Structure 1
Amino acid sequence: MTVELITGFAGTPHISSDEIGAFQAGLVGPGDYALATGDSLKATMSNANTIAVQSGDAVLNGRHVHLAGTTTATVQSGTQGQKRNDIAVLRYSKNTTTGVETCQLVVIKGTPTTGTPADPAHNTGSILSGVATHDMPLYRIPLNGITVGTLVPLFNVLKPMKDVWDSLTHLLLKIVPGFYVGSSNDNGVCVINYDSPNGKPPSAVLVSIGPWGSDSAKGMSAMVWEAASDHAQVRLMNTRTGDFGGKWPTQFSWVAIWS
């Protein structure tokens, strides 16, 4: 079947994890993200050999993973005189024989060195491409000798759509649309008026010329010549000759935007 209704009753179980994973990846993105739920996967070292990741949710290439409470994993002790970077990951695994998929918290041990330690390699292939193992890095665990340093988050927390909407609405103070019908003055200037929400000029004034009421006015273009806190000057140009100026009949729509 090449076309399938996923969120529809089919009379028998028919929805796969691949289908839901693809849908969720299309919504949140194809990468790895923590969600702003629970404790957002915050972590601490409960002792020198145990990392404790708190509750939350993650999306790994579209696969949703839920941590209901604190989840722990073991960190091997460091070596005196050497440094090491381990990384804690959420590891997705698929049994290629049975098709069973699982996820667990795993610590990948780095290579000890007397110089600057590097993070160990992890599985980066995408579940969306059919890989059987994928790692979502959560934290770098730096070790200096036997001392564990401060955990370094390696993931992004995806904000809810409400927060994104609120941030966008705060960017826009006001949008004022209008329509001008008349003639320009001797300099080819038309004046439009508006009320500023903050006493300042708008961030942008956009003009769309037309529709025209007479053939003589065709071939004109309009540009914003000057924008003040209560008005803007729109200047017309004859696109055939490149000339400004003249009392030309005109119609145009405009919008002033304050951000």
Structure 2
Amino acid sequence: MTVELITGFAGTPHIGSDDIGAFQAGIVGPGDYALATGNQLRATMSNANTIAVQSGDAVLNGRHVHLTGTTTATVQSGTQGQKRNDLVVLRYTKNTTTGVETCSIVVLKGTPTTGTPADPAHNTGSILDGVATHDMPLYRIPLAGITVGTLVPLFNVLKPMKDVWDSLSQYLPKVRIYTGQKSVKFPGKVADFFSDAQYKAIVGRSFTGGDTVILTSISTGTSIPLVAVCYTGTKTVRAIQVSDTQSSDIGVRFCIIAAQG
């Protein structure tokens, strides 16, 4: 079946982890992310041979993993006179026979060396592509001899949509919009549209250079382009006829986009 309504009643169970995984990957992204929940997978070394990963949530290629509490894993002791990098990963596995999917924390042992240590290889294939094993790197554990160094976080914490909006909104212009219509008498090409008092009654203050006023003629049989300008001497908003002058009462619809300080 090439077209399936996932969130629809089908008369029989039909929604699988692949469906939910694809949906979540489309929302949060196809990679690996920690979420801003719980203790956000923070970790400490309980001792030289034990890493403790705290509570949190992760999304691996769309698969949601929840750590309800602290989970520990064993780190093999280092070798005197040699350096080593271990990786702590959140490992997804799928039993290709039963289809059962699981996730666990695994420590991948690096290769000891007297030079610069490298991270051990991990499974990078995407669950979205059907791989049976996928690793999300959480921490690098550097070892110098038998001494364990400072844990190095290797994952990104995905911010909630509210935080993203709050960070963006400070750069968005803050405006208020007022609309209405009125009849205006044009003695020539220019007519006073709003006095300062009329403008204040609508917007709550005088016209400023940050405001935009849009005028549209709406009288039957007229299609006169109008431009609004502000006469600074009296703070009067005036309407100017761009085309041929029509010396008569003209119905005009207005839209004020008022900038907020």
Indicate whether the TM-score tops 0.5. yes
Structure 2 CA distance for aligned equivalents of residues 121 and 254 of structure 1: 61
In the alignment, which residue of structure 2 is the partner of 1:187? none
Residue identity opposite 2:66 in structure 1: H
In the alignment, which residue of structure 2 is the partner of 1:61? 61
> Match of 1:37, SS?
coil
Structure 2 CA distance for aligned equivalents of residues 134 and 258 of structure 1: 50
1:136 shift after superposition? 0.2
Question: 1:66-107: CA deviations, max 9, x gaps?
Answer: 111111111110011111111100000111111111111000
In the alignment, which residue of structure 1 is the partner of 2:195? none
Q: Compute the TM-score of the two structures, normalised by the length of structure 2.
A: 0.70
Question: 1:171-229: CA deviations, max 9, x gaps?
Answer: 335136699xxxxxxxxxxxxxx999xxxx99x99999x99xxxxx99xxxxxxxxxxx
In the alignment, which residue of structure 1 is the partner of 2:136? 136
Q: Counterparts of 1:49-128 in structure 2 under 5 Å?
A: 49-128=49-128
> Match of 2:39, SS?
coil
1:57 shift after superposition? 0.6
Query: Does structure 2 retain, via aligned residues, the 8 Å contact 1:92–1:103?
Result: yes
Structure 2 CA distance for aligned equivalents of residues 83 and 207 of structure 1: 69
Structure 2 CA distance for aligned equivalents of residues 76 and 206 of structure 1: 68
1:9 shift after superposition? 2.2
- The percentage of aligned residue pairs carrying the same residue is 78
In the alignment, which residue of structure 2 is the partner of 1:156? 156
Residue identity opposite 2:171 in structure 1: L
Structure 1 CA distance for aligned equivalents of residues 161 and 58 of structure 2: 16
In the alignment, which residue of structure 2 is the partner of 1:237? none
In the alignment, which residue of structure 1 is the partner of 2:15? 15
1:169 shift after superposition? 2.2
> Match of 1:171, SS?
coil
Residue identity opposite 2:112 in structure 1: P
Q: Closer, same or farther in 2 for the Cα pair 1:85/1:255, shift >3 Å?
A: farther
Q: Closer, same or farther in 2 for the Cα pair 1:144/1:9, shift >3 Å?
A: same
Following superposition, which runs of at least 4 residues in structure 1 exceed 4 angstroms of deviation?
176-179, 204-208, 253-259
Residue identity opposite 1:175 in structure 2: V
Q: Closer, same or farther in 2 for the Cα pair 1:4/1:46, shift >3 Å?
A: same
Moved more, 170-179 or 121-130: 170-179
In the alignment, which residue of structure 2 is the partner of 1:236? none
In the alignment, which residue of structure 2 is the partner of 1:189? none
Structure 1 CA distance for aligned equivalents of residues 81 and 58 of structure 2: 36
Structure 2 CA distance for aligned equivalents of residues 77 and 46 of structure 1: 14
Query: Does structure 2 retain, via aligned residues, the 8 Å contact 1:172–1:258?
Result: no
In the alignment, which residue of structure 2 is the partner of 1:185? none
Aligned residues: 240
In the alignment, which residue of structure 1 is the partner of 2:40? 40
Q: Closer, same or farther in 2 for the Cα pair 1:103/1:176, shift >3 Å?
A: same
> Match of 1:136, SS?
strand
In the alignment, which residue of structure 1 is the partner of 2:250? none
Residue identity opposite 1:55 in structure 2: S
> Match of 1:26, SS?
helix
Structure 2 CA distance for aligned equivalents of residues 80 and 28 of structure 1: 44
Structure 1 CA distance for aligned equivalents of residues 27 and 97 of structure 2: 30
Q: Closer, same or farther in 2 for the Cα pair 1:42/1:175, shift >3 Å?
A: same
In the alignment, which residue of structure 1 is the partner of 2:25? 25
Q: Counterparts of 1:224-243 in structure 2 under 5 Å?
A: none
> Match of 1:102, SS?
strand
Superposition RMSD in Å: 4.3
Which structure has the greater CA radius of gyration? 2
